[in-house]
Amino acid sequence: MKSATKYRATHNSTAVGCCAVTGSNITRVKRTLFALLAAIVLSAFSTPAHTEVVDRVVAIINDNIITLSELNAATSMALENISGNKPTDKKSIDEFKKSSLDNLINQKLIKQASDAAGIDISKKEIDNAIEDVKKQNNLTQESLMLALARSNLTMREYREQMQEQLREAKFVDIEFKSKISVLSEEVEDYYRQNIKEFLQPSTFRARMILLPGTDKEIQALKLSAIEEGIRKGESFAELASQYSEGPGASEGGDLGWLSKGELDSTLEAVIDRLKTGEVSPPVTRPEGIYLLQLTRSRASAPASIAESTPVIQKTLFNRRMEKRFASWLKEARRLAHIEIRL
């Protein structure tokens, strides 16, 4: 029997690309922490290892260097993350390469700052991070080891890279996140000034009776009994509990609160024409006969400030964090010795 109620599923996709920490992506540090390392693993299943690499230094940042192989890898990952048509002309690729180099320079500056701050990462933190990568990419321990081997990486090297990524993220937390706060007055001001952001869609609550069409004679008898009960003023909920074979039958056919698009379009159109408490005429569908009752409706209105506070706090926090990081990065680049050799 085909259900009239549509259930929508969502999924989270794992980002794959260079984990550069820049002013524009500082708010996504936690989410993209393992992207670069995950990409190393995932690409091993489709890309054969190069047997020969011609390498040279393309940038010097204080006491650190960036090699051509690092830059090429970062550029390739940036290009892989583009949805749709990927640029193939030299000018566009060169622009990606410059952007990737800029991101790598930022990473080196963060690494140097992490070193200066003496930030340590425990074995357990590295273990947990690797487990997260495996879970996000559906990898077993065996498939992870195989991917590392095909990428010419040992587990020790992989753990060292993971440790560095974690150190950089912890530095960002200590240097920026722990020093930022959002006041309740700021939340209230944002809520008042951006009230339209918090509008919730109109919703409705309904009850349903479904009589399957597998046995037409029994279906007709039940429908007759239900219609007679409705004429006598019997409770729709009690009739649903007694006769319905649809969703929520044991709860009187209650479908709960629904938004537009969550119910079969034909049935939703029927409910749209009902007044609160009104029962629809029988609606015949291939799977059976429906009777519907609109029990409550709510017009579109803003969510309360209490409901909106977590979202507002996150928005204001991220804005402040990005601004603080951009200022720090600008100063770090000004003070650093940076030499480009492209």
The DSSP output letter for 27 is: G
Phi, psi of 221 (to 5 degrees): -65, -45
Say if CB 210 and CB 246 are below 8 A apart: yes
Q: What are the helix and strand counts (H, E) for the chain?
A: 12, 9
Dihedral-angle region of residue 210 (phi above 0 means left; psi in -120 to 50 means alpha; beta otherwise): beta
Could you please report the per-residue DSSP string of 196-208?
A: GGGEEPPEEEEEE
Place of tokens 């990606």: 96
pLDDT in tens, 240-252: 999 999 999 999 9
- Fold classification of 202-299 is Chitinase A; domain 3 (3.10.50)
Q: Which CATH fold would you assign to the domain 26-184+314-340?
A: Triger factor/SurA peptide-binding fold (1.10.4030)
CB 209 within 8 A of CB 267: no
pTM exceeding the 0.75 threshold for the entire prediction: no
**For 253, left (φ over 0), alpha (ψ -120 to 50), or beta?**
left
Query: What does the domain layout of the chain look like in residue ranges?
Result: 26-184+314-340, 202-299
Q: pLDDT digit string (tens) for 239-295?
A: 999 999 999 999 999 999 998 888 899 999 999 999 999 999 999 999 999 999 999
Residue 251: both structure tokens together: 């709860």
Give the pair of three-digit tokens for residue 153. 């990486």
Per-residue pLDDT of the chain (342 residues; tens, 9 = 90+): 444 433 232 333 333 333 333 444 444 444 444 454 555 555 444 444 444 456 899 999 999 999 998 888 888 877 777 777 777 788 888 888 899 999 999 989 999 999 999 999 999 999 999 999 899 989 899 998 998 888 777 899 889 888 988 988 898 888 888 889 999 999 999 999 999 999 988 899 999 999 998 899 999 999 999 999 999 999 999 999 999 999 999 999 999 999 888 889 999 999 999 999 999 999 999 999 999 999 999 888 999 999 999 999 999 999 999 999 999 999 999 999 999 998
